[in-house]
Structures are given as structure tokens and as C-alpha cells.
Amino acid sequence: MKFRSFIRPLAIAAGLLLVLGLGLLGRLTLNTPLYLIERGGQAQPLALQFVPKQSPVVASVLVRPDRLASLWEYLTAPRLRQETRHDQELIEQALLANTGLNYSRDIQPWLGEEVTAAMVTPDLDQDSTNGTNPGYLVALACNDSLAAQAALELYWQNRAIAGDALTFEDFSGNRLIYAQRSAPRSAQAETASLATALVANRYVLAANHPDVLRQALTAAQSTDLNLQSDRRYKAALGELPSQRVGLLALNLPMVSQWLNPDRNFAEALVELGDFGTADDQVSWALMSWQLSREGLVGHTALLAAQGHRLHPQRARATDWDNIVPYLPGDLAVTAIGSDLITLGQRINPLLALASSTGEGRFPLAKLIDGALGQGATALLETGVDQVYGVGLGTAETGVPDWLVVAPRNETLVAALDAMTALAQGQGLGVGSLDLRGTPAIAWTRLALPKRGSQPLQVVAEVAGLHAQVDQYEALAASPTTLDAVIHPAAVPRQRPAWWSQVAQVPGPSTGYVHVDWPQIQADLAARLPRWRLWSTATQPALKHLRQITLVSGDRSDAIQLGSILVQLSNQS
């Protein structure tokens, strides 16, 4: 097996969860007897005993993959079944690339109800000067040890016939088998060895290096070393629903180190925990995934970093429905909440993961301050003391568009006056504008056209606008966005299509962040080179991803709860 076939296991596990949801669009009814939808799969991943607790990423699929494939195909409209079979074939090819193994013939007869994949370490030799070589582990539950042993023997026989020298090693009472293909010195990073072991006739372990297997077997012998016995895992699991088809655990500082190996590990820990105060720090997350009609629902638990406490907050019933219709449905990112100051603080830990420089921050403040002057965002935050809606969009100029909607009151009016004074101090002009019958205020900057023209003409570039819309004040970067708020396409106003999904999460919330995936995936690939590799490996599933909605819930001094709604489409 080539090394590149083993860089995908975590992506494949996540892909299986995503692909399963494709057939749930339109044919699932409340009376569906299929147990995976009603009850989920296996309650917990038992193979976590082999996963070292410091592992950056761990993903478990808690049902046999062929059961997922059968359900997916059964629930898919007949005209789309050929496409779903093709996607299943692509996933199997990626998982078993160059092994000579066939899933239905060699694996399905002995595979149990769990597949757990983990990145054990971002770099096997912990030496960043020679590049990074992550250590991967896959644990497969085994129902028939004889069939599993036969499959392993067949695989290694094929490797021996291909000319690989096999190594047999006894370690902690288990037989490890591994081989390394000969290669030029310059290509060593591409030729790491594959290692396997059949453990207690219950699990088949496979890794891209024998050291990973040794770490896995050592972890299983000590409750202090493995994730299954870790206090963080137990605390988070107890807060999440028991019905699930998968689990995903993230060690946030370690994930940041892997995504951005040039950054200092200690700095990454501080940035990921920076929620705006010295106390609010998180460092570990657990997500429990279940099926829904539209795709998947993930219930999340973020744990405070050791030695730190979170500021408790109880979710209260808020009338979000009144402000939602004032947010255009075509925004790339939409956020709704009741405390604008904490919006960036809540999202920054996730953005820090994606930043190669450690400067990942929610871009609203940068955009508003850049347009109107340093401090404009702080003034706006003091004025928005109630429910708010924020939007970010794409623009033809390449500069992101922005939108803020909030109830109009004396505090907000005073903040807008202060923002106007700040803008004037930066040399911007302030004037009235009739926007198709609605009076608006525009902050403008005089400039010459970027493209030369004769004779030269001075033009007014819009830095921002604001206008009263019913009982709300709307601020936007462009006349087009503000006009979409003032003059909606449908009368009466309609809520964005994605808003209906939030009903899947019962109870009150402290806020929502919605992402339109097709609009941001290109930017994600440009910011994260590693993402291009993962997106290629998971393309059979990611091409169906449409919407992601984050729902914030209760927060105690130790755990922040929330949900993730993933909307999938069965259209290419």
C-alpha cells in the first residue's frame, strides 16, 4: 500500500457520515422503520482504548459501512441511484487503494459495527526541519477473527509477492507485521511503512508506521494514556445525546499545530483559548453525530482548558424570528445573537485553526474599521445592545461585503453619530442618499478611478451606508446589500431558507452562525494548502455539502454546549 492511501482515513470516516445524509432528502418519513435513523448505531466507540489521549483528531463511525451504503442507496431517488453507487465506489477505492483487497469479499465478512480512525501525532519524528509526517491509526472492530486473519494473510502475501521485505515483531503480546518499500533517500517521506496487528481477536489495527501501533498497544494497557478513560472524553460524552452514528474528538491546540506546523505550539494554545478574557479558554471538543431529514445534526461539547473556567451563560428564549427576515438569504456567512461584542470572541478559536499566521479573527471588525476608521467597530458594538444580525458576502471586487442589522434605539443612534464623526475625522464625506425611495446616509471617500481615463474624473467611493428599515437600523458596505434589506425580493418578507433547519435543535439558543459552503470553499482552499488534499480525498461527499449552521447553547464554567446542522443535497 502506498503512503498516500493512508493519509485519507480520517477524511474517509468523515466522508461516510456526510454521504449517508444524501439520501435523506425528501423520502424519509416519521414512520420510517430503519433503525439507523430512529436509534443510531453503536452507542460508544470501544476502540478508543487504542487511541492515545493527546491525539489531535479522532473519528468513529459506529455502524458497519455497508449498512450505511445500503441505507443511503435505499433512500435515494431512483434517478440518482447510479450516482450514489459511483460515490460509494470512489470512497471504497480511496480507502482500499493499492491494497488488492475488496471490501465485500475481504472485509465485510468479519467487520463489526465500528471503524475508528485517528491522527495520533502531527509529526512522527517531531522534527519540523524535515517536514511533517503525521501518524495515522485505523481500528476495525472484528466479528470473525478467522476471516480477519485470512484477510491479513492475503494482504501480506501480496506484499511479499510484490517484493517487499516483511518484518514480524512481538509487542505487548501481539504480533505486528510491517514492511517498508525501498526508495531513494529524497523520497523517504512518501514511503513510510504500513503496519497491522490483530488484537485479542476483536480488533484489526492498521497504521502508517509501526511506531503508531506500538503507541496504540501501549495506550490500551494504561488507563492514564488512552482516550477512552480520559476525563475530558467522559465529561463531554455525558452531556451529549446517546443516539448517534459517529463521534468526532478534536484536541484544538494539536489540530492547530498540524494545520500550521510553522507556528509555535504554546502560542497556538493561547490563541485558541482566547475568548476575550483571561479565563475563557477551551482546548478540547467532542461532537456526536446523528441523522436528520436534511443531512446530519452534530451535538457539540467544548471543554475548558485545564486550570481555566468559562463564564457561565444560560440560553434564554429570544424572538429571533423578527430579525431573521431582514437578512438576505444569499449571504456567505450569517450570524444572529444578542451580544455583538462576544460574536468575534466566540468564533475566533475556530478561525485561529485556519490561520497560518495566528491572526485569524472574525473579519467584521477589520472590514468596518478599515472602511470608517479604527474604532468604528467598538462604537457600533456599544450601540448594539439587543438582538442583532450580521452578514458577510462576496463581492465582484474581491473585497468582502458586510451587513449589520439591529433594533433602532437611542443608544444605537448615538453610536451612529459617533461613527459619522470618526469617519469625517478620517477624511470621509457624509451625505444623504435616496435608495429607491428610502432615505439613507452614505459615508464616502473621494478618489480617482483605478483605471486611467482622460480627462481625469473624481468619483465618490462608498465606504458604508446605513438606513432605517421599519424598527431596525441597517448598515452595509454596498448599496446593493442595503437595497436587498430595504426592498426584499418577496413581499411580505420571507425568512432565509436555512432558518427552518434550526427547528431541529429544540430549546433556546444564545445565537446562530450560518455558512453557505459553496461560497466559502474556494477561499478555504486558498488559505489552507492542506485543505486541498483533504477536499480531494472527500470529494464524493463534499460535493453535496450545502449549508452549515452552528447553534450556541448553554455554557457552564467547564463546558460549552452547542449543535452543528449540516444540510446536504443529492444534486451534483
Say if 548 falls within a structural domain.
no
Same structural domain, 260 and 349: no
Asked if residues 462 and 398 have their Cβ atoms less than 8 Å apart, the reply is no
Which of 483, 511, 539 is the C-terminal boundary of a domain?
A: 511
Say if 563 falls within a structural domain.
no
Say if 480 falls within a structural domain.
yes
Domain encompassing residue 219: 3-272
Say if 19 falls within a structural domain.
yes
User: What is the 3-state secondary structure of 378-392?
Assistant: HHHHHHCCCCEEEEE
Q: At 143, which amino acid appears?
A: N
Say if 325 falls within a structural domain.
yes
Cα(34)–Cα(40) distance, integer angstroms: 9
What is the reported pLDDT for 476? 96
Q: In a 10 Å sphere around its CB, with 0-12 CB exposed, 13-18 middle and 19+ buried, how is residue 375 labelled? A: middle
What is the reported pLDDT for 54? 93
Give the three-class secondary structure for 171.
strand
* Upper half-sphere CA count for residue 65 (Cβ side, 13 Å): 24
Give the E-state strand segments of 172-232 in sequence order.
174-179, 194-199, 203-207
Query: Cα dist. 27→32, 380, 487, 566 in Å?
Result: 9, 46, 36, 18
pLDDT digits (tens, 9 = 90+) for 479-507: 999 999 999 988 889 999 899 888 888 77
What is the reported pLDDT for 351? 58
Same structural domain, 345 and 259: no
Same structural domain, 13 and 162: yes
Same structural domain, 29 and 118: yes
Mean pLDDT score across all residues of the chain: 82
Same structural domain, 169 and 20: yes
Same structural domain, 325 and 409: yes
Same structural domain, 327 and 237: no
What is the reported pLDDT for 4? 45
- Decide if pLDDT at 353 tops 60: no
Copy the grid coordinates of residue 557. Answer: 464554567
What is the reported pLDDT for 529? 59
- Decide if pLDDT at 170 tops 70: yes
Same structural domain, 380 and 264: no
User: Distance of alpha carbon 457 from its chain centroid, rounded?
Assistant: 47
What is the reported pLDDT for 192? 46
Domain count, the chain: 2
What is the reported pLDDT for 81? 81
Q: In a 10 Å sphere around its CB, with 0-12 CB exposed, 13-18 middle and 19+ buried, how is residue 491 labelled? A: exposed
pLDDT digits (tens, 9 = 90+) for 79-137: 888 887 887 788 788 777 767 778 888 899 999 999 999 999 988 887 777 777 889 99
Same structural domain, 264 and 342: no
Give the three-class secondary structure for 542.
helix
Cα(110)–Cα(154) distance, integer angstroms: 14
The percent of residues in the chain predicted with pLDDT above 90, rounded, is: 46
- Decide if pLDDT at 182 tops 80: no
* Upper half-sphere CA count for residue 446 (Cβ side, 13 Å): 8
pLDDT band at 283 (very low <50, low <70, confident <90, very high): confident
Same structural domain, 255 and 327: no
Cα(304)–Cα(343) distance, integer angstroms: 18
- Decide if pLDDT at 327 tops 90: yes
Q: Which residues pair with 115 in a beta bridge?
A: 61, 140
